[in-house]
Structure 1
Amino acid sequence: MTPGCKMARARRPPVLLLMLLMLLGGSCRLSRGTSAGPVPLVIWHGMGDSCCNPESMGYIKKIVEEKIPGIYVLSLRIGSNLIEDMENSFFMNVNDQVELVCDKLAKDPKLRDGYNAMGFSQGGQFLRAVVQRCPSPPMFNLISVGGQHQGVYGFPRCPGESSRICDWIRKMLDIGAYTKTVQERLVQAQYWHDPLNEEEYRKNSLFLADVNQERGINGTYKKNLMSLKKFVMVKFLNDTMVDPPDSEWFGYYRSGQAKETIPLKETSLYTEDRLGLKEMDQAGKLVYLGAVGDHLHFSKEWFFKNILPFLQSS
């Protein structure tokens, strides 16, 4: 509460002043991102990473806190320790992860009035599922840094320190990405999008086909996503990790082949407006950012110039 508001209560202001306060619509209320402090930030890491790696998410948390003094940054840990957090990025059912995160956000008193969210790589599409499924507390801006929103159809490289895990993933995808066993046990299979077999993808994809409304329209998903003020999508222009890189801007392979890609506006997701992306685009809510470099390779200067402004507003 401001000093002026206290004075107004103590001195019984004149009628004209009371009328002015009424016209101003309750000027004593504090708004997020100003007198109440910075808007909180929620971060979700990518495959093979963890919440607090000092060279990745720990570093991002640190530089955001340095640039925005007083900000509350929650870097999500999926599991009871950092090893579990990393392993769950490969092996924990994505729907269960999203449910766990929704519960965690709802119980955090510091997020009660809303927050901004920033997902890295697969964390981008996972946070999109959060805003679609869990509107409380409200998410203001969603920043997807290299997120694969139309999925992937290739596994060229695998991050993390364990080549054994990467080899196992490739074998499971070769066996059959849409078998029940692989879908339930492998995170990356849950956003595997085979353009040569769209029917099987729509039928058996455990996660992506649902959040992309491939099996029917959930009006709540659409309404919740459209509630975002900005949906920022970062595509890495020299990406050798994501196949195809256009998925980072919601583009994908033209159905029936795996060579030609089409942009978001030519996809059925956009023309049928199953998620409200067309309306959001027309309203200026979609932001497409390009970053020169390979997957998740960007400088601190680029981050400050292009991403920080979205973290300083609600």
Structure 2
Amino acid sequence: MASAKRVAVLQRLLILLGACCGRISGSLAGPLPLVIWHGMGDSCCNPMSMGYIKELVEKKIPGIYVLSLEIGRSLIEDMENSFFLDVNDQVAFVCDKLANDPKLQGGYNAMGFSQGGQFLRAVVQRCPSPPMVNLISVGGQHQGVYGFPRCPGESSHLCDWIRKMLDIGAYTKAVQQRLVQAQYWHDPLKEEEYRKHSLFLADINQERCINETYKINLMSLKKFVMVRFLNDTMVDPPASEWFGYYRSGQAKETVPLNETALYKEDRLGLKEMDQGGQLEFLGAEGDHLQFSKEWFYENILPFLQ
């Protein structure tokens, strides 16, 4: 056991050293690159969303390389995959893409919007090379969701269908394999069923067993920044954006991260990261993904420079 612990500590030190070297390399060669992952019903290059964010960053950080992830061979396929392509396949695709991008080998920052936040967390937990330095989750649902009060307007018909499928049985094999949102559906009234059948979230949140590599890799981050929208009407519950969730066994009272079993048992290293100042909790006054250019520059840009 002692030997295993020494190996784990050594692995962590090597990862931290790699991230450190990546930051040095990035500072000498220019600004550290940024990888962006969009949310449900969006695409990599929509000029009103990810294209706009890319432009904001490039204006303030001249010469920065910004990779906005396209999951598929076209913008339409990218949008459709945000609903229907197994999240584990998406993460594997992104890991391969990052590993083969020569501009990212010295390290990079990552920023995920809505479900893209928890997907990028899976990337850092599963794929430490190239090293992710800072992870910024903008409205990501890290403890999952238990409802879809509303969805992006252009995808309303898909959202109606998703609700029906989740009502039929979120944890059936057919729904889990065919619906992205089912893979981070976290029913607080059926915790055992969730832990047993969730194909994605239960794994990256260490609900079934402890994968020490996941923990070591997440703890290698310099900063893990979580943005919660304080007037969010889309994410249920909004506390999930700060890694909180419903108290188990009911769906009314929520508890913050530091009162969850995940934190107390430190299955992901979040307690140690919190105590070490690696976690940042930011609040934005607007509804889901609604923020001003000024708020973005004041609150997010410092983590990218």
**Using the alignment, how far apart are the partners of 1:160 and 1:131 within structure 2?**
31
Question: AA paired with 1:57?
Answer: M
Equivalent in the alignment of 1:254: 247
User: Where does the alignment leave 5 or more consecutive residues of structure 2 unmatched?
Assistant: 1-21
Equivalent in the alignment of 1:64: 57
**Using the alignment, how far apart are the partners of 1:33 and 1:162 within structure 2?**
39
1:13-42, CA deviations, whole angstroms, 9 ceiling, x for partnerless residues? Answer: xxxxxxxxxxxxxxxx99334331000000
Structure 1 residue 168 displacement after superposition? 1.0
The question of whether the paired residues in 1 share the 8 Å contact of 2:239 and 2:245 is answered with yes
Tell me which of 216, 223, 226 is aligned to 1:230: 223
Runs of 4+ residues deviating >6 angstroms: none
Q: Tell me whether 1:244 sits opposite 2:262 in the alignment.
A: no
Tell me which of 92, 109, 117 is aligned to 2:85: 92
Structure 1 residue 149 displacement after superposition? 0.1
Equivalent in the alignment of 1:264: 257
The question of whether the paired residues in 2 share the 8 Å contact of 1:42 and 1:73 is answered with yes
1:149-172, CA deviations, whole angstroms, 9 ceiling, x for partnerless residues? Answer: 000001110115133211111110
Q: Tell me whether 1:125 sits opposite 2:114 in the alignment.
A: no
Question: AA paired with 2:105?
Answer: R
Describe the shift of the 1:66–1:274 C-alpha distance in structure 2 as closer, same or farther (beyond 3 A): same
The question of whether the paired residues in 2 share the 8 Å contact of 1:225 and 1:276 is answered with yes
Greater percentage in helix: 2
The question of whether the paired residues in 2 share the 8 Å contact of 1:148 and 1:242 is answered with yes
- Give 1:71-220 correspondences, 5 Å limit: 71-220=64-213
1:81-115, CA deviations, whole angstroms, 9 ceiling, x for partnerless residues? Answer: 00000000000000000000000000000001100
**Using the alignment, how far apart are the partners of 1:33 and 1:138 within structure 2?**
11
**Using the alignment, how far apart are the partners of 1:214 and 1:162 within structure 2?**
31
Q: TM-score, normalised by structure 1?
A: 0.89
1:135-185, CA deviations, whole angstroms, 9 ceiling, x for partnerless residues? Answer: 000000000000000000011101151332111111100100000000000
Q: Tell me whether 1:288 sits opposite 2:253 in the alignment.
A: no
The question of whether the paired residues in 1 share the 8 Å contact of 2:38 and 2:114 is answered with yes
SS in structure 2 of the partner of residue 128 of structure 1 = helix
User: Where does the alignment leave 5 or more consecutive residues of structure 1 unmatched?
Assistant: 1-28
Equivalent in the alignment of 1:309: 302
Describe the shift of the 1:124–1:206 C-alpha distance in structure 2 as closer, same or farther (beyond 3 A): same
SS in structure 2 of the partner of residue 161 of structure 1 = helix
SS in structure 1 of the partner of residue 70 of structure 2 = coil
Question: AA paired with 2:83?
Answer: F
SS in structure 2 of the partner of residue 125 of structure 1 = helix
SS in structure 1 of the partner of residue 110 of structure 2 = strand
Which of these two proteins has the greater Rg computed from alpha carbons?
1
RMSD over aligned CA atoms reads: 1.1
